[in-house]
Amino acid sequence: MSTPSQITCVEDFRRLAERRVPRMFYDYADSGSWTEGTYRSNESDFHKLKFRQRVAVDIEKRTYRSSMIGIDVAMPVAIAPTGLTGMQHADGEILGARAAEKFGIPFTLSTMSICSIEDVAAHTHKPFWFQLYVMRDRDFIERLIDRAKAANCSALVLTLDLQVLGQRHKDIKNGLSTPPRPTLANLVNLVTKPRWCMSMLGTKRRTFGNIVGHAKGVGDLSSLSSWTAEQFDPALSWKDIEWIKKRWGGKLILKGIMDAEDARLAVESGADALIVSNHGGRQLDGAPSSISALPNIAHAVGKEIEVWMDGGIRSGQDVLKAIALGAKGTMIGRPFLYSLGAMGEAGVSRCLQVIANELDITMGFCGHTDIHNIDRSILLNGDIFD
Ligand code: FNR
C-alpha cells in the first residue's frame, strides 16, 4: 500500500504512520492520558449511534458545503491544532496548511508547533487559524497575539483545558522531551525509519518557532522543557479570556468546553464558537467522550453560539453523526497527523477526500441531499447520550 489512491480509510493511514514515523512521535499522537479510557471512548461512542437508512428518495444532487464562523468551508471539518506536528513529517504544519487550503477547510496552527506562524504564513496563500495556550508570561502572549494578527490569521482558537497537564505514560517511557532522550531504542528506531529521516534532513526551519527565540529565557531548545512545564497558567480565569478577546479583536473560538455551565459562560464571554473537546482524551481521563457530551451543550447554547466538537472522529460518518447531534462544525486531530506522518501533504489531501466521500455517501444513504438539513432524525437512537 504505497500510493495515496490505494488508501481507503483513516485506519490505513494510522497503520502506515505506525510503520513510518519513529515510535516516540507516533506514540505521542496515538495516546491518551492515564488509562486512556476517555481517549478510547471518544472513538467507541461514535459506534453506538446508528443511522436510519432511507430508500427511494431522490438524492442525485448532494452538497456538504457549509460555513464555520461565517467562513465558507468545503465540508464542516477543520484541522485541529496539534503540537509537534513537524515531528510527524518535516515541515508538517506547512504541508497540513497547504492541503487544507487546497481542499477548502480551515487549518489551525498550535502554539506548540515546530514551524512558526511566520513560516506557515510565508508558505500558504489563505488565512489560517492560530491556537493559543495561556502562559503565565503575559508579555509573551501579547506578542504571540500580535504575530498572529500580523500573519493575517482569521481566528484565534483559545484552548482552555490545559491549566494542568494530563500525563501520558508512553511519552515518559519513550523519553519524549526537548531534545529527545538519546536511548538505544530511540536511536535504533530512527535508523529503521529511513523515510522519516530523509524527510527531516531536508528541513532547515527552526523548531518550536513560536517560542524559541521569542519567549523570555528560551534562547534555545535546551531551556524549552522547563519553560513549558512552568508556563501553562493554572490561574487562568474568564477575566483573562475577556482581556485576550479585546487584545485579539477578531473571531474567537473557545476550545475544551465539556460542561453546559461553562458553555453558558462561553456565550457570555462573547466568543464566536465553542468546541466541545476533551483534548482528544489527553487531559482529564475519566471525562465523558466528546460525542456524548455534545447533545447537552448543543441543547443548552446551540441557538446562541456555534457549537463544534472534536475527539474520536475517524470518518465522514462520524462527522455526520456530530452534525446530527447539534454540531455546526467539527475538527480532526489524529486523522490529520496519521495521514501527514504516512504520506506528507499528499496523505493529508487524500485523508480529507476520504472523509468527504464518506460524509457524502452516508448523507445519501440517510435520504438527504444538503448538510444543512441534517438533524437527529437521521439517527435511530439519537437520544442515547441525553
Ligand atoms: C493535540 N491537541 C491539541 N490541542 C490544542 O489546543 N493545542 C495543541 O497543541 C494540541 N496538541 C495536540 C497534540 C496531539 C498529538 C494530539 C493528538 C492532540 C488536541 C487536538 O486539538 C484535538 O482536540 C484532538 O486531537 C481531537 O481528537 P482526535 O481527532 O485526535 O481524536
Q: Give the residue, by CA position, lying nearest to ligand 1 atom 25.
A: 333
Tens place of pLDDT per residue across the chain (386 aa): 579 999 999 999 999 999 999 999 999 999 999 999 999 999 999 999 999 999 999 999 999 999 999 999 999 999 999 999 999 999 999 999 999 999 999 999 999 999 999 999 999 999 999 999 999 999 999 999 999 999 999 999 999 999 999 999 999 999 998 778 888 988 998 889 999 999 898 787 778 999 999 999 998 888 888 898 899 999 999 999 999 999 999 999 999 999 999 999 999 999 999 999 999 999 999 999 999 999 999 999 999 999 999 999 999 999 999 999 999 999 999 999 999 999 999 999 999 999 999 999 999 999 999 999 999 999 999 999 99
**Ligand 1: which atom is nearest the Cα of residue 30?**
17
Q: Give the residue, by CA position, lying nearest to ligand 1 atom 14.
A: 82
Which residues neighbour 261 within 8 Å (Cβ) at sequence distance 6 or greater? none
Give the 3-state DSSP-derived string for 198-251, with helices as H, strands as E and coil as C.
Answer: HHHHCCCCCCCCCCCCCCCCCCCHHHHHHHHHHHECCCCCHHHHHHHHHHHCCC
Cell 478577546: give the residue.
245
Query: CA-to-CA distance for 112 and 134, rounded, in angstroms?
Result: 12
Q: Give the residue, by CA position, lying nearest to ligand 1 atom 13.
A: 82
Answer whether CATH 3.90.1010.10 is correct for domain 4-378: no
Cβ of 160 less than 6 Å from ligand 1: no
Distance from Cα 334 to the centre of ligand 1, integer Å: 7
Four-point Cα dihedral 30, 36, 39, 41, nearest 10: 130
C-beta of residue 159 within 8 angstroms of C-beta of residue 275: no
Annotated catalytic, 89? no
- State the DSSP H helix or E strand holding residue 145, giving kind and residue range, or none if neither: helix 138-150
Farthest-apart Cα atoms in the chain, separation = 66
33, 88, 279, best to mutate for ligand 1 pocket (most atoms within 8 Å of CB): 279
pTM of the predicted protein model: 0.98
Query: CA-to-CA distance for 331 and 257, rounded, in angstroms?
Result: 14
Cβ of 81 less than 6 Å from ligand 1: yes
- Tell how strand 306-310 and strand 273-276 pair up: parallel
Residue 1: the pLDDT is: 54
Instruction: Locate the domains of the chain by residue range.
Output: 4-378
C-alpha cell at position 268: 457570555
Which residues neighbour 137 within 8 Å (Cβ) at sequence distance 6 or greater? 215, 216, 231
Query: CA-to-CA distance for 269 and 236, rounded, in angstroms?
Result: 14
C-beta of residue 17 within 8 angstroms of C-beta of residue 338: yes
Distance from Cα 167 to the centre of ligand 1, integer Å: 14
